[in-house]
A and B are shown apart, each in its own frame.
Chain A
Amino acid sequence: MSIQSASWRRGLGASTLLLIMSACVGVGYVGGGYEPYGYVGGGYEPYGYDYGGWGGAYRVGPPRGGPRGGGGGRHAPSIPSAPRGGGGHGGHPR
């Protein structure tokens, strides 16, 4: 074995050790699999469930218009209505 190949083998050994060490830092369970050190987002959901088939009964949207405010008459507020770049930081248009 030449001196050169021995050098590379030692280098590869060191890098492998480093990879293993870095992998140990952030192991986390992700919906059926393990992510060694990458970004841990969500996971896959179980298969075979229905997400549709509701037709017109599927009414889940937010209220709009009407009085706002959490107290008093308990009218549900709506979503932000201030346009981006329209002045203010999403101020409450009452």
Chain B
Amino acid sequence: MNVVLDRARISVRREIFALLACLTCSLAFAAPYELPPIGGSGPAEHHPGKIIWADLVTPDLAAAERFYAELFGWTYQTIHAGNTDYAVALLDGRPIAGLLQKPLPSGERRQPAWLTFIAVRDIDAARRIALGHGAKSVSEPKTYTGRGRQAVLADPEGAVIAMLASSSGDPPDYLAAPGEWIWSSLLVRDPAQEATFAKAVFGYDVFDLPSDDGAVHVILSSDDYARASVNSLPSSGHRRAHWLNFIRVMNAAESSAKAVSLGGRVLVEPHEDRHGGNIAVIADPAGAPIGLMEWSDTDTKVEPK
């Protein structure tokens, strides 16, 4: 009798052990993860309309990490976010971007791209306004521990944009250091309509800048700072509305050449822009476009009246 009872006890213990072991493995795999906060180290600031983050979607995370590390000096904090490998890019320890590994849909050719995140105070309210002004939902609002609440939309012309209500506040307004995002442009067919949309959703002040080449150049500002431009796409080529983000570099020509040596391509050759510095557009080894922009601390070029 005692022998039977002992065997039963041992069996129960084994079952409990096996269940706990498997549950532990499952929870580890599906464990909640925390993303690093993107706000500053001081009291939380909020800057609605500011471009505060960008995520790269790429099929080869390791190659992207190498490319951007060599080009901009980024380091990485890798996060296993559920079934997703996500590398948070750091510059001098500050999180500035995310690199997301995602397999290409089988049998399809798709374009790797950077996704621009604009600060809002209330995702759901901003999203309602956007949808009411012709935007389409790309991904529903979702809250991430440490990051905040975010959603992805396509604007009336189809340019994909994310909005983010950062739970740690927004990064403070400093001049971008080399290797940081300094500027963003929205390139569309109808800049006036898109500026009206952006004003309604993000509360921007809108400024039409004179241009001597006939191209439309609209500045979106908030907190009395220029946050982005809206520009007309050229009629030539096969083009679609898109956002493009620029990293501050010391020398656009040298950075472009380095990008090529690292497996990238030059899409727009370095040339002088209206602010007096050079800009260029490159593609990383997987083809994602990204801008390079020089910005001298001492230049005093004034926008023509």
Contact = CB atoms under 8 A, between A and B. Distances in A.
B58 to A, nearest CB: 9
Interface string A41-64: 111111111111111111111111
A72 interface: no
A62 B226 CA distance: 7
B254 interface: no
B26 A19 contact: yes
Interface residues of B, number: 106
Interface stretch (B61-69, B70-78, B193-201, B265-273): B265-273
A31 B102 CA distance: 11
A83 B269 CA distance: 29
Interface in B55-104: 55, 57, 79, 81-84, 86, 98, 100, 102-104
Contact of B231 (A40, A43, A60): A60
A77 B225 CA distance: 5
Contact of A64 (B17, B139, B221, B299): B299
Interface string B8-21: 00010011011111
Interface residues of A, number: 71
Interface of B: 11, 14-15, 17-23, 25-27, 29-30, 33, 35, 40, 42, 45, 55, 57, 79, 81-84, 86, 98, 100, 102-105, 108-115, 138-140, 142, 144, 152, 160, 162, 172-177, 182-183, 185, 187, 205, 207, 209, 211, 213, 215, 217, 219, 221, 224-226, 229, 231, 234, 236-240, 242, 244, 246, 266-269, 271-277, 279, 281, 283, 289, 293, 295, 297, 299-303
Given A55-B271, A75-B303, 6 more contacts: A11-B20, A49-B111, A49-B242, A61-B279, A76-B209, A79-B175
9 contacts: A33-B103, A52-B289, A58-B268, A58-B273, A60-B231, A61-B293, A76-B226, A77-B219, A79-B225
